[in-house]
Amino acid sequence: MIQDRLDPDALDWTKGDGLLPVVVQDAASLRVLMLGYMNRAALEQTRRSGHVTFYSRSKRRLWTKGETSGHVLELVSVDVDCDADTLLVMARPQGPTCHLQRPSCFPDAPADALGALDAVIADRAASPQAGSYTARLFESGVRRIAQKVGEEGVETALAGVVQDEEALLGEAADLVYHLLVLLRARGLGLDAVRRVLDERASPGR
């Protein structure tokens, strides 16, 4: 949901002749997806529709990302920088963002692997695919998934004591994966865990 504190009248629309540069970031993987521009109308339409809309400088009109391909950017939030002249949009991409069918217009843009994995797991929960191990886990129910987390936890602990680093890392990856599946089966996700960690990292704790 868009941040309520964003006030369009407080933005500096003068520097770019009524346009603000907009950095778009994947809300799950934190990968930078693209750079665009918004005028007031584009920002208003973005907030109203929930789909990220830009002002196309070449077409000289509003342009909603994915209006022809269907690969829209679902709005999560909008933030503004310290000079009030640049926007940061967090979005959930519905397909590749780049016209070259890449996830990002910046081919080497880094991404958080955990966030990307969590997004895939969420997609499998919403749209099960035949032959998917993740889908079979969801079908088995919370108890079975929790049992798998327990099994992977024991295997990770044992690897930490008696196996080499490669084995430990492999078991740790399995544990994290199954834990993310368990969270999603309970209607939660990585963002919820991040919020708890952020709270615990706050000053005074």
Q: Average the pLDDT over 5-20 and give the result.
A: 92
Q: Using one digit for the tens of pLDDT, what is the confidence trace for 26-77?
A: 998 999 999 999 999 999 999 999 999 999 999 999 999 999 999 999 999 9
- Cα separations in angstroms, 124 against 19, 22, 37, 74, 117: 38, 30, 33, 18, 11
| Whole-number pLDDT of residue 1 | 42
Q: How many residues does the chain have?
A: 205
Please name each of the domains of the chain with its CATH number. 8-93 (3.10.20.810), 113-200 (1.10.287.1080)
The strand pairing partners of 92, in sequence order, are: 74
Residue with tokens 């990585």: 190
| Whole-number pLDDT of residue 26 | 95
Instruction: Provide the whole-model pTM.
Output: 0.78
